[in-house]
Chains A and B, each alone.
Chain A
Amino acid sequence: MSSFAVGSGLSIASILLAVIVLAAMLIWVERRLLGFWQERLGPNRVGWFGILQVVADMIKIFTKEDWVPPFADRLSFVLAPAIIMVVVLMSFAVIPFTPEIGVIDSNIGVLFVLAMASLGAYSVMLGGLSSNNKYALLGSLRAAAQMVSYEVFMGISLLGVVVLAGSFNLRGIVESQADGWYIIPQCIGFLIFLIAGVAESHRLPFDIPEAEQEICAGYHTEYSGMKFGMFFVGEYLGLVLISSLITVLFFGGWLGPSFLPPIVWFALKAGFFIAFFILMRAALPRPRYDQLMSYGWLFLLPLSLLNLLLTGVVVLSTL
């Protein structure tokens, strides 16, 4: 394993490859799991248990006509899907997968993730705005308000962990959990982060920006081919990112009994949350838009501030 140093070329390449392949595979995993939970089959024709469905989807998406509507604003229309891929993949740079695998140990890792999450909002906003389509515009208006709001609680809910660990460095946060995972002292922070994470990656039940029953497909109504594919894969990348972040921040990252190697522990924990997010999609209905906003600002914000205050009191009194 000596070639797998943090920041080495092999490490970077394997993270990039693993994450993108995983995100593409998740399209199939999600459909199969949803089928299982909804008592139907899901895609099971192509290959073993339908596992080659992803390949078939990819071939389809790559060979579709890549069309830019004549009424769209070309620059922002082309830029928007690239932004989501770039910012989510950049966020993986600061995530420590194991003691050996990782891209960079940044002292501002948590802040970097938050910065990338806030830049991700441009993707949906520009996509909807440049499409010059009323459904797309409605979708991106919703996305903008939702993402800007939930970013606030996401940031504040993380601060409890940062206070306990005394560091913004994600690797430092994992190492400081050797005595106990932060899920126990920070269970409120964890719940808020979980909810805010779903809202940030606008997945069901918070997929109001792309609610197909109300506004077609929302911000990506006008997209087709690979540009749509980037939005689609970007969403699954966001899912992997949120699951990895939860693992790192609250569940001790790669830490675990030594009969399994660290990367397996990380994958198990992150995989559990990915499956949990998919189950949530199968189980929960979508709230109304104003319910989402007032729930965030009137309930989650005070709760996250209270959590931070209590954490501060406890840390100061045990100094």
Chain B
Amino acid sequence: MILLFYLAAAVAVIATIGVIVQSNIVHGLLYLILSLLAVAVIFYVLGAPLAAMLEAIVYAGAIMVLFLFVIMMLNLGQNTRDQERQWLRAGGWLLPALLAAVLLGQLLYVMNGVEGLSVSEQVGVMAVGSRLFGPYVLAVELASILLLAGLVSAYHLARQVRSGDE
């Protein structure tokens, strides 16, 4: 299990780097899907099968499909690829790399004190469900109200105003 964890983690990190350095947007998206699936494997190894499946269904399966859908609608082509390549020149990497290195150092320092990875038990679907509708029901309801507001406003923005209206 521990080997699987490190393997999936390595895939996730490498794929995420791939997302950043790819100049072809579709290839970048493929890397992002790979990265999300690797994170799903990590969830599974850590004993959260429901979270793993939801990661695959919602993020890799639904949200990324919508990303791809938008890419298909825009169909940007060669121009953006050249522009992307220009943005990815070495000089632009300096400051972000420095900042990321500081964060990485902090992370390593913090993780130094943490006990080793231990998988105590699997948290099943029923356990997650009873938590969500038990102690955390208020948070779930608030989140759903937020989503509903987003849905209504998206509908309003996308609405076609016909000539007879208003």
Mark interface residues in A75-87 (1 if CB within 8 Å of B CB, else 0): 1100100000000
Distance (whole angstroms) from the CB of B80 to the closest CB of chain A: 14
B50–A141 touching, CB < 8 Å? no
Query: Are A108 and B72 in contact, CB atoms less than 8 angstroms apart?
Result: no
Evaluate contact between A141 and B53: CB separation under 8 angstroms. Answer: no
The complex places the Cα of A182 from the Cα of B150 at a distance, in Å, of: 36
- Cα(A125)–Cα(B27), bound, Å: 13
Q: Which residues of B contact A79 (CB under 8 A)?
A: 30
**Bound state CA distance, A119 and B58, in angstroms?**
10
Compute how far the CA of A125 lies from the CA of B71 in the bound complex, rounded to whole angstroms: 11
Number of A positions contacting B (CB below 8 A): 30
Contacting residue for B57 out of A107, A114, A128, A145, CB 8 A: A114
Chain A 128-148 interface mask (CB, 8 Å, partner B; 1/0)? 111000000100110011011
- Residue from A108, A118, A125, A151 within 8 A of B68 (CB atoms): A125
A122 x B68 contact (CB < 8 A): yes
- Residue of B whose beta carbon sits closest to that of A169: B125
Known contacts A107-B124, A129-B26, A148-B65; A112/B53 CB under 8 A: yes
Q: Cβ of B68 and Cβ of A76 under 8 Å apart? A: no
Q: Does B17 contact A (CB under 8 A)?
A: no
Q: Which residues of A contact B65 (CB under 8 A)?
A: 118, 121-122, 125, 144, 147-148
For residue B88, CB closer than 8 A to chain A, the reply is no
- With an 8 A cutoff between CB atoms, is A168 at the interface? yes
Is the CB–CB distance between B69 and A141 below 8 Å? yes
CB of B22 to closest CB in A, whole Å: 10
| Given A73-B26, A111-B50, A118-B62, CB of A137 within 8 Å of CB of B68 | no
A126 interface residue, CB < 8 Å from B? yes
Contact B56 A130 (CB under 8 A): no
Contacts of B53 in A (CB 8 A): 108, 111-112, 114-115
Chain B 31-69: CB-based contact to A (< 8 A → 1; otherwise 0)? 001000000000000000110111011001110011011
Name the residue of chain B whose CB is nearest to the CB of A112.
B53
Cβ B61 vs Cβ A76 within 8 A? no
Whether B79 sits at the interface, judged by CB under 8 Å, is no
Quick one: which of A114, A119, A137 has the most chain B CB within 10 A? Answer: A119
**A137 / chain B contacts, CB cutoff of 8 Å:** 72, 75
Q: Given the complex, which residues of A lie within 8 Å of B158, measured CB to CB?
A: none
Contacts A115-B61, A130-B26 given; indicate if A145 touches B50 (C-beta within 8 A).
Answer: no
Residues from chain B with Cβ under 8 Å of A148 in the complex: 62, 65-66, 69
CB neighbours of A145 from chain B (8 A): 69
Q: Does B24 lie at the interface of the complex (its beta carbon under 8 Å from any beta carbon of A)? A: yes
Q: Taking CB as reference atom, which chain B residue is nearest A138? A: B72
In the complex, are the beta carbons of A118 and B30 less than 8 A apart? Answer: no
- Give B155 Cβ to nearest chain A Cβ, in Å: 12
Give CA–CA (A125, B68) in the complex, Å.
8
Q: A108-B49, A125-B68 are in contact. Are A118 and B26 (CB under 8 A)?
A: no
In the complex, whether B73 has a CB less than 8 A from a CB of chain A is: yes
CB of A285, distance to nearest CB on chain B (Å): 27
Residue of chain A at shortest CB distance from B73: A141
Closest to B57 in A: A115
Q: Is the CB of B71 within 8 A of A129?
A: yes
Instruction: Tell me how far the C-beta of A176 lies from the nearest C-beta in chain B, rounded to whole angstroms.
Output: 15
Chain B residues within 8 Å of A108, by CB = 49-50, 52-53, 125
Q: Which residues of B contact A (CB under 8 A)?
A: 24, 26-27, 30, 33, 49-50, 52-54, 56-57, 60-62, 65-66, 68-69, 71-73, 75, 124-125
Please name 13 further chain A to chain B contacts, defined as beta carbons within 8 Å, in addition to the given A115-B57, A128-B72, sorted by A numbering. Answer: A75-B30, A76-B26, A76-B27, A111-B50, A111-B53, A118-B60, A118-B61, A122-B33, A126-B30, A130-B26, A144-B69, A148-B69, A151-B62
Q: Identify 9 residue pairs between A and B in the complex whose beta-carbon atoms are under 8 Å apart, listed by A's number.
A: A76-B30, A108-B50, A111-B54, A122-B33, A125-B65, A129-B26, A144-B69, A151-B62, A155-B57
Query: Which 7 A-B residue pairs are closest in the complex by CB-CB distance?
Result: A118-B61, A111-B53, A115-B56, A115-B57, A108-B49, A144-B69, A108-B53
